[in-house]
Structure 1
Amino acid sequence: MLTTFKKHIETQLHFLQEAKLLVACSGGLDSMVLTHLCQSLNLNYSLAHCNYNLRADESDGDQKFVEEYALKNDCQAYLTSFNMDDYRNNTNSSIQLLARDLRYEWFNKLMQERNFDYVLTAHHADDSLETFLINLSRGTGIKGLTGIPEQNGNIVRPLLPFSREEILAFANSRQLKWREDSSNIETKYLRNKVRHKIVPLLKELQPNFLENFKLTQQNLFGTSKLVDVYATEIQDALFTDKNGVKNINIEELKKKKPLKDHLHLLFDPYGFGQWDDIEQLLDATSGKKIYSKTHQLTKNRDFLLLSEFRETDQKEYFFFEVDDLINEPISMKITQVDSISKNDSNVLYVDSEKLKYPLLLRKWNTGDYFYPLGMKGKKKLSKFFKDEKIDVLSKKNIWLLCSSEKIVWVVGKRADERFKVTENTNKILKFELH
Structure 2
Amino acid sequence: MLEQVRRTIEEYHMAKGGRVIVGLSGGADSVCLLHILRRLAPHYGWELQAVHIHHGLRGAEADRDAAFAMNFAQSLGVSCQVVSFDVAAEARKQGRSTEEMGRILRYETFSKLAGENGQIAVAHHANDQAETLLMRLCRGTGLLGLTGMAPVRGNIIRPLLFCSRKEIEAYCKENGLMYQEDSTNKDTAYTRNKIRHEALPLLEEVHSGSTAHLAETAALLAADSDFLEQAAKAAYAETKLNENPITLSCEKLSALHPALRMRVLRYAMADMLGSSKNISHVHLQDVESLLAKQSGTSVKTAGGLVVHRQYDRLIFGRAEKKQAGFSYAIPLGTDVFVQEAELLVESGVFSGKREEIPLDGCTNVFDYDKITQNLCCRTRKAGDQITLPGGTKKLKSFFIDEKIPADVRGSIPLIACGRDIVWIYGGRTSAKFAPDAQTTQYVWIRITEAHHNERKN
- What TM bracket, shorter-length normalisation? 0.7 to 0.9
Instruction: Return closer, same or farther for 1:26/1:215 CA change in 2, 3 Å cut-off.
Output: closer
Correspondence 1:33-432 to 2 at 5 A: 33-42=32-41, 43-111=46-114, 114-228=115-229, 231=232, 235=236, 239-244=239-244, 245-250=246-251, 253-254=253-254, 263-269=261-267, 270=269, 271=279, 273-274=281-282, 276-290=285-299, 291-293=301-303, 296-301=306-311, 303-305=312-314, 307=316, 309-312=317-320, 322=335, 341-343=357-359, 346-348=362-364, 354=374, 370=384, 372=386, 379-380=394-395, 382-391=396-405, 395=408, 399-400=412-413, 410-414=424-428, 430-432=446-448
Residue 123 of structure 1 deviates from its aligned partner by: 0.8
* 1: CA distance, partners of 2:99 / 2:124: 15
How far has the Cα of 1:170 moved from its partner? 0.9
Counterpart contact for 1:408–1:419, Cα < 8 Å = yes
Q: Does 1:32 align with 2:41?
A: no
Residue aligning to 2:273: none
TM-score, normalised on structure 1? Answer: 0.77
**Equivalent pairs: percent with the same residue?**
26
Equivalent-residue separation in structure 2 for 1:408 and 1:36 (angstroms)? 76
Assess, with a 3 A threshold, how the Cα gap between structure 1 residues 372 and 196 changes in structure 2: closer, same or farther: same
Letter in 1 for 2:447: F
With 395-404 and 171-180 compared, the bigger mean Cα shift is at: 395-404
Q: CA RMSD in A?
A: 4.3
Structure 1 SS opposite 2:149: coil
Structure 1 CA distance for aligned equivalents of residues 26 and 410 of structure 2: 51
- SS of 1:159's equivalent in the other structure is coil
How far did residue 127 of structure 1 move? 0.6
Structure 2 vs 1, CA of residues 66 and 211 (structure 1 numbering), >3 Å: closer, same or farther?
A: closer
CA distance in 1 between partners of 2:180 and 2:383 (Å): 71
Q: Give 1:18's aligned residue.
A: 17
Query: Would you say how many aligned residue pairs link Structure 1 and Structure 2?
Result: 416
TM-score using structure 2 length: 0.74
Once the two structures are overlaid, the 10-residue window that deviates more, 87-96 or 185-194, is 87-96
- In structure 1, what residue type is equivalent to 2:83? T
Q: Which moved more, 1:155-164 or 1:79-88?
A: 79-88
What's the counterpart of residue 272 of structure 2? none
Moved more, 196-205 or 33-42: 33-42
| Mapped partners of 1:26, 1:44: distance in 2 | 19
Shift of 1:295: 5.9
Separation in 2, partners of 1:91, 1:97: 11
Please list the CA deviations of residues 365-416 of structure 1 after superposition, one character each: whole Å capped at 9, or x if unmatched. 8x56755476998844x443222222457x3896526799998854322458
Mapped to 1, the partners of 2:226 and 2:304 lie a distance apart of 24
Partner AA of 2:399 in structure 1:
F
1:168 and 1:396 map into 2 onto residues whose CA distance is: 66
Q: Deviations 1:108-148 (Å, cap 9, x if unpaired)?
A: 3444xx44422221111111100110011111112221221
Letter in 2 for 1:39: R
Determine if contact 1:297/1:304 at 8 Å carries over to the other structure: no
Return closer, same or farther for 1:306/1:370 CA change in 2, 3 Å cut-off. Answer: closer
Counterpart AA for 2:171? F
Bigger CA radius of gyration: 2
Secondary structure of the 2:413 match is strand
Other-structure match for 2:276? none
